[in-house]
Amino acid sequence: MNMTKLSISYTDAADRDALYLSKNEITSDVIHAMLNDLETDVAILEIDYDDNSLSVEFDKQRDAFIGWYNVFEDEFYFLDNGSGGTECVDLLVNVCPEERMMCYAMDDIKAIVSHFCETGQLHPAFTWILDNEI
| Residue boundaries of the structural domains of the chain | 3-133
Residue 18 has pLDDT above 60, yes or no: no
Burial class (CB in 10 A: 0-12, 13-18, 19+), 95: exposed
Q: What is the pLDDT of residues 54-113, one digit of tens each?
A: 999 999 999 999 999 998 899 999 999 999 999 999 999 999 999 999 999 999 999 999
> What 8-state DSSP symbol labels residue 92?
S
Please give the model's pTM, rounded to 2 decimal places. 0.85
Q: What is the pLDDT of residues 20-52, one digit of tens each?
A: 665 566 677 777 787 888 888 788 888 888 889
What angle is formed at CA 109 by the lines to CA 59 and CA 72, rounded to 5 degrees? 100
